[in-house]
Amino acid sequence: MDLTEPDIARIREQFDFDRSGRVVTNNAASTQPPRQLLDLYRSLTPFYENVHRGQSDASRYTTDRFESSYDTIAGWLGAPSRRSIATYRNTTEAINAVMYSLLTEFRDGDNVVTTMLEHNSNYVPWHGLCREILPRFGRRVELRIARFDHRTGELDLDHLASLVDARTKLVCCSGASNFLGSKPPLPIVRAIADAGGYPQPTGERRARLLVDGAQLVPSSFVDVQALDVDYLAFSFHKLLAPFGVGVLYAKEHLLEQSLPFLYGGDMIADGQVTPDAVGYNGLPWKYSAGTPNILGVIVSAQALRLAVDLVGGDPTRMHFRSEDPVPGPVVRRTMDRIGEHTAHLTRRAMDGLSGVPGLRMLGGPPGTPRSPLVAFTVAGWSPFELAAELNRHGVESRAGCHCATLAHHDLGLDPPASCRLSFYLYNSNADVDRAVDAVRKVVAHRPPAPTPVGGRHRREAA
């Protein structure tokens, strides 16, 4: 059942932005944190202590909360246990962790296949590996890039299949594009990766599959075992939690067998450091070197539970602040509700924008499955000037390449930029209508300002 307007009104009461009148429509960059999560930080401070580093009640209390957060995250993703979960600062760091852990496994003549749809986080590390790092060790590993259909934004699966061969060690693919909105069909991508037949050190004969779930996990039900992904990365700051925590899911046997990405304290088995040998801690702590973002991880896992409560994913009970397992059907209902609501908002925005003169929406037509965002250009307008004008109307959009630089260049956008509106569970029809209205007014009534030479806009993350 879809979220109703009263549901949305009730949800918005939990967020500070609602009091400020902001039209928060840049959610693909980061979502807003509900007040309960910020209050949760505060309630943890009486027991503020490090984890795995003390015998006090406070340290044990915090350690228990921290460890059980891994169970919550694992359960949410359908992972078999916390042993498959590593936490990092964000998606980018999680993908880099895979890259550095696999660094020594590549053989001369191997290749990595990625796509033109990728965020730079899932392209630049592979570029760095193949073009900069491995050549310094005298190893040649090719980076191959699958195309997408310029009209629909869909990944060209035939082209992807043509790039995967017996030397493809890894396929790196976005689960949902942060620019064109397209969602590559992961079961087909999995089958293509399998068909390559690469002999992995584990004995398997197939390419591994890494999915960038940064835009997928916040608004879709994702079951890592059903999808049979080897690696999945996402960031909690796009899923209600404050900044600072990203997740890497990886199959347990891969984490067992890989080298760590970071070396140091807490990733070591008790007492097993001598001048000659170092023994690693058991999973998942082998991948948790140094003091982690303890409160951030606890609050992030609780953000998942709060999402259930906010959208009414479990009619039988509340889950926030508890540590009981969240049943799979509850996770599914929660994510379906979020997915349906944000898809509805996106369709509404696309319908509204379709009448704006000179406006070109990028990616598939309204009605095709897409991440809850729409990127567009308007003839005669710099996306940066457009975003600045929208901001004057109180509407928060994002102009730039959204770090999807490859795709912007591939589409021939000059400058390589677009303006993007993106939605989350707390957005209302009124938000969408205000945003669309603002675009209409700006385009109709305000001629674009001449673009000053240099320093036209603040630096945009790429």
**Residue 182 interacts with ligand PLP (CB under 6 A): yes or no:** no
Q: What are phi and psi of 282, to 5 degrees?
A: -70, 165
The whole-angstrom separation of Cα 161 and Cα 115 is 12
In whole angstroms, how close is the CB of 35 to ligand PLP at the nearest point?
A: 22
In whole angstroms, how close is the CB of 96 to ligand PLP at the nearest point?
A: 9
At position 333, the amino acid (one-letter code) is R
**Residue 293 interacts with ligand PLP (CB under 6 A): yes or no:** no
Catalytically annotated residue among 130, 172, 173, 403: 403
**Residue 119 interacts with ligand PLP (CB under 6 A): yes or no:** yes
> Judged by CB, which is closer to ligand PLP: 179, or 198?
179
At position 289, the amino acid (one-letter code) is A
Q: Say if residue 195 is exposed, middle or buried (CB neighbours under 10 Å; 0-12, 13-18, 19+).
A: middle
Using the contact rule CB under 6 A, the part of the chain among 52-60, 116-124, 224-232, 408-416 near ligand PLP is 116-124
**x/- contact string, 392-411, with ligand PLP (CB under 6 A)?**
-----------x--------
Distances (CA, A) of 116 to 165, 209, 227, 384: 19, 16, 22, 23
100 touches 261 (CB < 8 A): yes
In whole angstroms, how close is the CB of 29 to ligand PLP at the nearest point?
A: 6
Q: Is 403 a catalytic residue?
A: yes
Q: Scanning residues 367 to 386, which ones bind ligand PLP (CB under 6 A)?
A: none
116 touches 407 (CB < 8 A): yes
**Residue 235 interacts with ligand PLP (CB under 6 A): yes or no:** yes
- Choose which of 101, 168, 174, 342 interacts with ligand PLP (CB under 6 A): 174
Using the contact rule CB under 6 A, the part of the chain among 210-218, 261-269, 308-316, 417-425 near ligand PLP is 210-218
- Choose which of 62, 91, 115, 405 interacts with ligand PLP (CB under 6 A): 91
- Choose which of 214, 222, 307, 435 interacts with ligand PLP (CB under 6 A): 214
**Residue 422 interacts with ligand PLP (CB under 6 A): yes or no:** no
- Choose which of 36, 63, 92, 101 interacts with ligand PLP (CB under 6 A): 92
**Residue 210 interacts with ligand PLP (CB under 6 A): yes or no:** no
Q: What letter does residue 148 receive in the DSSP assignment?
A: B
Q: Say if residue 228 is exposed, middle or buried (CB neighbours under 10 Å; 0-12, 13-18, 19+).
A: middle
| CA-CA-CA-CA torsion sign (31, 36, 40, 43) | positive
| Backbone angle region of 363, left / alpha / beta, with phi > 0 → left and psi within -120 to 50 → alpha | left
**Residue 212 interacts with ligand PLP (CB under 6 A): yes or no:** yes
Scanning 110-264, the segments in alpha helix (DSSP H) are 124-127, 134-136, 157-163, 186-196, 224-227, 252-257
Using the contact rule CB under 6 A, the part of the chain among 6-14, 89-97, 181-189, 258-266 near ligand PLP is 89-97
Sheet holding 168-174, edge to edge: 85-88, 246-250, 231-235, 208-212, 168-174, 111-115, 142-146
**Residue 215 interacts with ligand PLP (CB under 6 A): yes or no:** yes
* Number of shown-chain residues binding ligand PLP (CB under 6 A): 16
In whole angstroms, how close is the CB of 174 to ligand PLP at the nearest point?
A: 5
Instruction: List the one residue out of 280, 264, 301 whose CA is nearest residue 65.
Output: 301
The whole-angstrom separation of Cα 329 and Cα 313 is 9
- Structure tokens belonging to residue 310: 């906010």
> Judged by CB, which is closer to ligand PLP: 90, or 111?
90
**Residue 27 interacts with ligand PLP (CB under 6 A): yes or no:** no
The whole-angstrom separation of Cα 446 and Cα 324 is 54
**Residue 288 interacts with ligand PLP (CB under 6 A): yes or no:** no
**Residue 427 interacts with ligand PLP (CB under 6 A): yes or no:** no
**Residue 286 interacts with ligand PLP (CB under 6 A): yes or no:** no
**31 CB-near residues (< 8 Å, 6+ apart):** 218, 237, 238, 239, 240, 424
**x/- contact string, 244-283, with ligand PLP (CB under 6 A)?**
--x-------------------------------------
Distances (CA, A) of 309 to 71, 133, 197, 219, 312: 18, 46, 44, 15, 5
- CA neighbours closer than 13 Å in the CB half-sphere of residue 269: 8
**Residue 14 interacts with ligand PLP (CB under 6 A): yes or no:** no
> Judged by CB, which is closer to ligand PLP: 28, or 425?
28
**3-class DSSP assignment, residue 250:** strand
**Residue 114 interacts with ligand PLP (CB under 6 A): yes or no:** no
- Choose which of 63, 178, 258, 281 interacts with ligand PLP (CB under 6 A): 178
- Choose which of 90, 96, 219, 346 interacts with ligand PLP (CB under 6 A): 90
> Judged by CB, which is closer to ligand PLP: 90, or 281?
90
Write out the E strands in 314-389. 359-362, 373-378
In whole angstroms, how close is the CB of 243 to ligand PLP at the nearest point?
A: 8
Chain residues in the site for ligand PLP (CB under 6 A)? 28-29, 90-92, 119, 121-122, 174, 178, 212, 214-215, 235, 246, 403
Catalytically active residues, by annotation: 403
